[in-house]
Chain A
Amino acid sequence: MRITGNVAIRYGVVIAGAALMAFPLLYLVSGSLMSAQDVIASPPHLLPPSIHLENFARAMDFLTPRTIVNSFVFALSVVLLQLLLGVPAGFALAKIPFRWTTAMVVLFVVPVLLPNNVSIIPTYLITRELGLLNSYTGMIIPIVGQTTFATLLFRQFYIDMPGELFDAARIDGASWFRMFTSIAVPLAKPAVAAYACVSFLTAWNMYIWPLVVAPSEQFRVLSVALAPLAGTDLLRLVPPNVSLAALLISLVPVLAAFLLVQRWFVKGLTGTGLD
């Protein structure tokens, strides 16, 4: 009896914690299905008294398909281009004897201490000097240049990979390029998956950079479109149920990806890409 009692308490606490963490999402989903009056009703409704799917159509009018396409273009380009830069560099820093390896690693680690807002001003200035404001290139390439996470993640991945694999290939006379393409890349799938999940999420959720560097309507990404819906003013152009529906639309790709490949997110976030 004592044991079942404890298990019940444990379940209770675990579920209560989960409810607390997930409550805002429940509110979001529920509110996105309600009528405008029901969202602001007092006392509040936890579940929608009636279902209003037309909120999503109105949210799409507000968001526009172009914004969603922009978000995909931005996030996918950042992930793909950073892979092209990060995998070979991580491999080189882990496996190829090079006298500057330590210095390079330090160079990549230092900006971890620089917060977003400190780097954004000079990065904006250089993008402006290059004439890339209000362009996809200007949005994407400077973020691609922030290769620290990709480089260090792949370096760690290759460090943890047994060296004998490469020693044998070297003794057989394989070039580093050959070893990279036929051993290192094919074996990197877990690290690529972990990296891609986390970086896609990060890029998809970026707000301030796209806002500053490409403010014109045609380059607007989801975060930039959604942020004005917050704030304290009560005179809103978009009703709350439509706002919440818009938020849910922007969440669908990342929620779906997260539910499908949760383990890769977790591996990417713990940094090594394999455990």
Chain B
Amino acid sequence: MAQQSAGHTAVDSRTSAGKKRGPGQASPKVGRRRGDALAAAAFLAPNVAAYSLFVVIPAVAGLALAFFEWDLFGSPVFAGAANFAKMLDDRVLWTALINTAQYGVLGIAPTVLGGFALAVLVNAQMRGAMIIRVLYFVPLTMSVAVSSVLWSWLYQPESGMINSLLGLVGLDGPSWLSSTTWALPALTMMIIWLSLPLVIILYLAGLQKVPDSIIEAAMLDGAGSWARTWLIIWPNVRPVTLLVVGIEVLNFLSAPFEVALIMTDGGPLNATMPLSLYIYKVAFERLEIGYANALSMLQTFVILAVVGGIWFLRRRKATRT
């Protein structure tokens, strides 16, 4: 599933989690009828069948295959915990884990804070704002493939736009994508750019729920609007921030996959290899299906730990205040 759709489903689950029963569902004056369960089952059946076959069964099969050795051609051989033991000696795995953490550390905060700041900017009611706003959404239309090609031209060391602009102010830009130091930050930069529109849209929706008087007081009052934005508007969109942070954590755990595959193939010297891309290579280049599935379990565990950690911090903060 692509990055965006992970986003909206998170919005959905959040808004619907609180209501077990919709306002129109089984209201007492009408009550349940005998055909209800049958009708519900009929409406759901094709969906659940397709979903089971292509989402649930593969997920369960993936779990099971983590305990086998398989090269796609023979039949799987039971390997016990061997695939997990292998992780301890896997140098590339540790590099990939550290890289994954780097993508998140470098990318999440700028995406969330930048998205908020830009949303406040374009939320202002001013002449022509609608037209300008569209320009902020440009990256939304670009696929990872398109933006990867485009940005690898922007990052060209000799003729690329970025180094040319740096040259104008007297800076000597690195050869971004072939530098072990700069390649990962360069990819992160592009992922931030790709991710900002969704964050802006979510904050714009959140800002509509903040009373106008607060926003006007904060924005239209001349000097100090910077401080007011962060001291007055920012605390008022906290629920959106929590949602956006969750989405971006998942995004920065998964988006570097295709980006690094297309732009650097994980190189140079594995410097941009995220865990997700490493798993893909283990599966589809080394054909070690069992080990790849064991690594997928590790990745899922990491995600649950991070998301669980955020949830825990949020709970603790909520009980304290």
Contact = CB atoms under 8 A, between A and B. Distances in A.
A153 to B, nearest CB: 6
Given A115-B250, A125-B58, A206-B2, A98 B36 contact: yes
Contact of A112 (B6, B23, B201, B257): B6
Interface string B7-36: 111111101100111111111011011011
A126 B52 CA distance: 12
Interface stretch (A14-22, A49-57, A58-66): A14-22
B191 interface: no
A148 B40 contact: no
A109 B50 contact: no
A85 B47 contact: yes
Contacts of B204: 266
B234 interface: no
B237 interface: no
A189 B1 CA distance: 24
A44 B5 CA distance: 37
B135 interface: yes
A43 B159 CA distance: 8
B24 A270 contact: no
Interface string A182-211: 000000000000000011011011111000
B283 interface: yes
Given A97-B32, A97-B36, A244-B150, A207 B24 contact: no
Contacts of B197: 21
Interface stretch (B83-91, B102-110, B274-282): B274-282
B7 to A, nearest CB: 7
Contact of A269 (B19, B144, B198): B198
Given A89-B43, A204-B143, A94 B22 contact: yes
A22 B135 contact: yes
Contacts of B300: 113-114, 118
A98 B33 CA distance: 10
Nearest to A153: B12
Interface in A91-129: 91-102, 104-105, 107-109, 111-123, 125-126
Contacts of B33: 170
A99 B36 CA distance: 10
Interface string B140-165: 11111111111111101011010010
Contacts of B40: 92-93, 96-98, 100-101, 176
B284 A212 contact: yes
Interface stretch (B210-218, B289-297, B312-320): B289-297
B178 interface: yes
B122 interface: yes
Contacts of B250: 112-113, 115
B48 interface: yes
Interface in A160-186: 161-167, 170-171, 175-177, 180
Interface string A139-171: 001101111110111011011011111110011
B122 to A, nearest CB: 6
B174 interface: no
A207 B4 contact: no
A107 B56 contact: yes
B22 to A, nearest CB: 4
B92 interface: no
B37 interface: yes
Nearest to A19: B135
Contacts of B4: 198, 201-202, 269
Contacts of B132: 14-15, 18
B16 A159 contact: yes
A22 to B, nearest CB: 4
B23 A14 contact: no
Interface string A1-40: 0110011001101110111011011011001000000011
Given A101-B25, A159-B22, A166-B24, 15 more contacts: A6-B220, A24-B154, A25-B142, A94-B22, A105-B16, A113-B307, A116-B258, A122-B59, A123-B54, A125-B65, A144-B54, A147-B50, A176-B39, A207-B144, A230-B262
Interface of B: 1-2, 4-13, 15-16, 19-27, 29-30, 32-33, 35-37, 39-44, 46-48, 50-51, 53-59, 61-62, 65, 118, 121-122, 124, 126, 129, 132-154, 156, 158-159, 161, 164, 167-168, 177-178, 193, 196-198, 201-202, 204-205, 208, 220, 222, 250, 253-254, 257-258, 261-265, 276-277, 279-280, 283-284, 289, 292-293, 296, 299-300, 303-304, 307
23 contacts: A18-B135, A21-B139, A24-B151, A44-B164, A85-B50, A97-B26, A97-B40, A113-B303, A119-B1, A125-B61, A144-B50, A147-B47, A147-B51, A149-B1, A152-B13, A163-B25, A167-B29, A230-B152, A231-B262, A231-B264, A266-B201, A269-B4, A275-B208
Complex A-B, nearest 10 residue pairs according to Cβ-Cβ distance, in ascending order: A163-B24, A145-B54, A271-B11, A205-B143, A122-B58, A97-B26, A92-B43, A115-B254, A159-B22, A122-B62
